[in-house]
Chains A and B, each alone.
Chain A
Amino acid sequence: MLQGYVIVLVAFAYLGLLFGIAYYADQRADAGRSVIDNPTIYALSLAVYATAWTFYGSVGRAASDGIGFLPIYLGPTLMIALWWLVMRKIIRISKASRITSLADFIASRYGKSALLGGLVTVIAVIGILPYISLQLKAISTSYAILLQYPEISMPASEAAGRHAIAADTAFWIAMILAAFTILFGTRHLDAAEHHEGMVAAIAFESLVKLLAFLAVGLFVTYDMFDGVGDIFSRARAQPDLAPLLAPLEGVGGGYASWVWMTILSMFAIMFLPRQFQVAVIENKNEQHLSKAIWLFPLYMLAINLFVLPIAFGGNLHFPTGTVDADTYVLTLPMAARQEGLALLVFIGGLSAATGMVIVETIALSTMVCNDLVMPVLLRLRKLRIAERRDLTSLLIGIRRGAIIGILLLGYLYFRLAGEAYALVSIGLVSFAAVAQFAPVLLGGIFWKRATRNGALAGLVAGFLVWSYTLLLPAVAQSGWLPIGLIEQGPLGIELLRPVELFGLAGLDHTTHAMIWSMIANTGAYMLVSLMGTQSADETRQAGLFVDVFRQTGEAGGARFWRGTASAPDLYDLLARFQGAAAADAALKEYARERGLRWPDKGFVADADFVHFVEVQLAGAIGAASARIMVGSVVKEEALTTEEVREILDEASQVVVYSHRLEQKSSELERATEELRAANERLKELDRLKDDFVSTVSHELRTPLTSIRAFSEILHDNPALPDADRNRFLGIIIKETERLTRLIHQVLDASRLESGRIEWHESLVDLGVVIEDSVAATSQLFRERDVQLEVRLPERVPKVVADLDRIVQVLVNLFSNAVKFVEPGRGRVEVSLTEEGESLRVDVRDNGLGISLKDQAIIFDKFRQAGDTLIGKPQGSGLGLHISRSIIEHFGGRMWVASRPGEGACFSFTLPRVREPALVWAA
């Protein structure tokens, strides 16, 4: 037996815990270490979407409709994919203009229109009341049922009407929630409308309700039944349940209803005041959207996983008609005598309901205060509100009053109409009401041409159709209007029947209402916008909203202000609404950022400053009221629409220019980089030319010196013995040959480079060329006692080349190899192989090898391996350069592979002749 006081005690302990969490989060926020600046908390706070309706109502709907409840969660899953596009923009706009609520957003967009803000507030309050009453109903029903434990009996439906108000649980629940909401939301006035404590508590509640629901789901599925398969197979065996298992056509309206429910919930996830509050106003960082985009749909998937098993489990367990399906979540654990689990479920449902009520009433109270009450008070000059010293307490008072008022109205709706409908139907009425905001809000951020009058017309038209097709039937159904109005139509005109307007039949009420209200709303909005013109204010706000991603910083709006103002007056204004301390802090911060001082005589109230004060003020009392207040202390010159448009165009041109400038400067950077590289290359070439000249002169001087020395000896000593004379003459001849060879090479190199060389191309057999070259250099090998090994295939394809030039290359490679091996132990291998489309020649030696650094340069002009300062240069340094140029001329490649101490292998390839015919012809 669960005593009433136990339940109440647990419930209060839970609410106390929530308050503790909120208090802690507020403390942390004041200390600058926010707990809610975290993407996971942000995603969890979005789950305030799942209310008592989800917790109890989904199962109720599933028990009678099968899968018909799911679009309410599939819609948001789809919509959130578009959030990166849409919600990021809304958040950016809201932060730039310090938007405080949904009504404030719409009012700001359409020229800070107080009328529009008021209209949005009225629609939101009327539309949301049924939804709040639904939460009250859920808490009081679940409490009443749990009180009967272990008996399961439904509270009689007329019971609520019979109770005196003071004895009605729902009334006390409403009052307790009002007290808690006041504690959570309006303990003090936050300049930016942030409620960090509330968000932390909501995120915690989201976890609790998910865990409670999963616990029930697991218990029902695996303890009361033998798993999911068991439940479904038993349901299929029952003739009255089987049709629910593949039921899309069975749902009223079929696919049309499915689609419209999806669209409806897509709008709800963005435009329910509480969703706008947590998603936009309480957002700390737009990057948090990233994680929410997948975490929030995952949450919804998880909380819906066990809805169908519980619904069918309930249908199987309880005889038809004895237990309300909306209560299965609670009554199933009770039927299984699970006292603890039942209590957990009650707490989970309490979480779902209180979370919704707290956030929704805070959001609505902000709207009521900023967009409904304040504009009216400020305009009533008799009250002299604008002249009071401190208005913060007035603001808080209005909000607290609004919270109590909204909850009382919610309770009233519960008393009057709440009993006639199931949970889901009540919620859908509210969804359809907030869906009316979709055209003006989405249109407002993407369509510049939309006007204030268009928005007013759209909202009024949509709201009227909603009232006629959804609210009126609901009121009539509860007996407050003659039911004949619904069944026969007003004055008996069938065509005007609220639930089958103009004869549109065969749909459920919500789908029917959505179709007509969206047509009326969007139609009026677009028609009036297209036919009308915008005022200067509207043009400016449209530009700021639609092009928010092209604005820079908060100062975007300052460009539009012209006039004169006094800084002390503006300060006084701010202090009256925010309190002196907050105003001082804000102005000091403003001055510090701009390198100014406050308070200071030289402080000028320029456009920037006026805009800053207006935005600060908007954070406290909404954009429309802030505009009125600032207007009362400054002298503003009105801009014409044309002027505003010019400023906007200027701004977008500046953006285009700066984009172009960026492009130009990056092009310039690239060009500079290329120039620098070219310059480097030129410098290198210049250095090489100097090297060339000095090396050539050095190379020429060495043989010349010895020729001259020996010639002088011969000239001065006519009596030299014959043997010596012959030896000296031999040296002179050898040095002259060397000189000739060098000059030949220099000429060759320069002709190769300038392309003035003559080539004698013919078909060449590389094998023969190698043998010829070996024969030509055999003397050299013998002199230095170096072994030479030649490996040639029997027959190789020919190549097109200049025979003499190829011999030159080979001789050069051979003489290099001989030079660098040790006499006596040296070994040189020559091989010819076919390699794909080309022939390859390798000349391998077992000499000193070439270091990696040298390998990179030896093919350059006058570059030799090793240190030319120590060792005598062993050649001109042109041989390899010339060889490579020759090989490359014939389409081949030349390279070296070597490691110091392990010899070197010079290789080159030449492309073979493709057409065999050519070979034979030759």
Chain B
Amino acid sequence: MQDPEAKGQRLIALFILGCLLFNYPILSLFNVAADAFGVPVLYLYIFSAWALLVGLMAYVVESRP
């Protein structure tokens, strides 16, 4: 088990990253009327960023130092 404090701080960093990814102004960059791979860019962006965030959280929580 890794140091609980280090884990907590890494997760806080991810929280901040998530707040950036899902907010103005980063979000507005993808708020365009265009498709990528047949899917509107905004949808594709949000779901990929979401998946990325979940992946990073899994990595931080499950990795052994």
Contact = CB atoms under 8 A, between A and B. Distances in A.
A228 B39 CA distance: 7
Contacts of B58: 294, 298
Residues of B in contact with A, size category: 35 or more
Contact of B62 (A255, A290, A298): A290
A442 interface: no
A230 B14 CA distance: 35
Given A81-B18, A246-B33, A249-B31, A229 B39 contact: yes
Given A81-B15, A262-B22, A298-B54, 15 more contacts: A71-B22, A77-B53, A78-B15, A82-B11, A84-B8, A228-B38, A229-B37, A232-B40, A245-B43, A262-B23, A287-B1, A293-B11, A294-B61, A297-B50, A301-B51
13 contacts: A74-B22, A77-B18, A77-B53, A77-B54, A78-B15, A78-B18, A78-B22, A81-B57, A233-B38, A246-B42, A255-B23, A255-B28, A294-B54
A85 interface: yes
A85 B8 contact: yes
Interface in B1-46: 1, 4, 7-8, 11-12, 14-15, 18-19, 22-24, 27-28, 31-35, 37-43, 46
Contact of A236 (B23, B27, B35, B55): B35
Contacts of A305: 47
B46 A293 contact: no
A248 interface: yes
B43 A67 contact: yes
Interface in A195-229: 227-229
Interface string A28-55: 0000000000000000000000000000
Contact of B11 (A77, A84, A227): A84
Choose among A74, A88, A255 the residue with the greatest number of B CB atoms under 10 Å from its CB: A74
B46 to A, nearest CB: 6
Contacts of B35: 229, 232-233, 236
B15 A248 contact: no
A255 B22 CA distance: 10
Contacts of A259: 23-24
A42 B58 CA distance: 16
A821 B54 CA distance: 72
A70 interface: yes
Nearest to A262: B22
A63 interface: no
A230 B43 CA distance: 15
Contacts of B61: 84, 290-291, 293-294
A7 interface: no
Contacts of B37: 229
Interface of A is mostly: helix
A233 B53 CA distance: 28
Contacts of B24: 255, 258-259
Interface string A248-278: 1100000100110010000000000000000
A242 interface: yes
Interface string A330-346: 00000000000000000
Given A228-B39, A246-B42, A297 B57 contact: yes
Interface string A292-303: 011001100100
Nearest to A292: B61
A233 B38 CA distance: 7
Contact of A229 (B12, B38, B42): B38
A843 interface: no
Contacts of B15: 78, 81-82
A297 B28 contact: no
B12 A301 contact: no
Contact of A84 (B7, B47, B51): B7
B46 A84 contact: no
A258 B40 CA distance: 18
A308 interface: yes
A461 to B, nearest CB: 27
Nearest to B18: A78
A446 to B, nearest CB: 14
Interface of B: 1, 4, 7-8, 11-12, 14-15, 18-19, 22-24, 27-28, 31-35, 37-43, 46-47, 50-51, 53-55, 57-58, 61-62
A232 B38 CA distance: 7
A74 to B, nearest CB: 5
Interface string A280-295: 0000000100110110
B55 to A, nearest CB: 8
Contact of A78 (B8, B19, B32, B43): B19
Contacts of A74: 18, 22, 46, 50
A371 to B, nearest CB: 31
Contacts of B40: 232, 245-246
A246 B54 contact: no
Nearest to B49: A74
A81 B46 contact: no
Contact of B32 (A83, A246, A287): A246
A649 B5 CA distance: 24
Contacts of A88: 4
Contact of A248 (B1, B7, B28): B28
B43 A308 contact: yes
A248 B38 CA distance: 19
Contacts of B47: 301, 305
Contacts of A291: 61-62
Contacts of A308: 43
B51 A70 contact: no
A67 B15 CA distance: 21
A85 B12 contact: yes
Nearest to A246: B33
Contacts of A242: 33
Given A294-B61, A301-B50, A305-B47, A248 B27 contact: yes
Contacts of A290: 61-62
Choose among B41, B58, B62 the residue with the greatest number of A CB atoms under 10 Å from its CB: B58
B63 to A, nearest CB: 11
Given A77-B53, A248-B27, A249-B31, A70 B12 contact: no
Nearest to A236: B35
A245 B12 CA distance: 32
B57 A294 contact: yes
Across the A-B interface, give the 9 residue pairs with the lowest CB-CB distance, nearest first. Answer: A229-B38, A294-B58, A81-B15, A294-B57, A245-B40, A78-B18, A255-B24, A246-B33, A81-B11
Contacts of B54: 77, 294, 297-298, 301
Nearest to A85: B8
Given A81-B12, A84-B4, A246 B57 contact: no
Nearest to A298: B54
B33 A245 contact: yes
Nearest to B31: A248
Contacts of A258: 23-24, 27
B24 to A, nearest CB: 5
Contacts of A245: 33, 40, 42-43
B11 A85 contact: yes
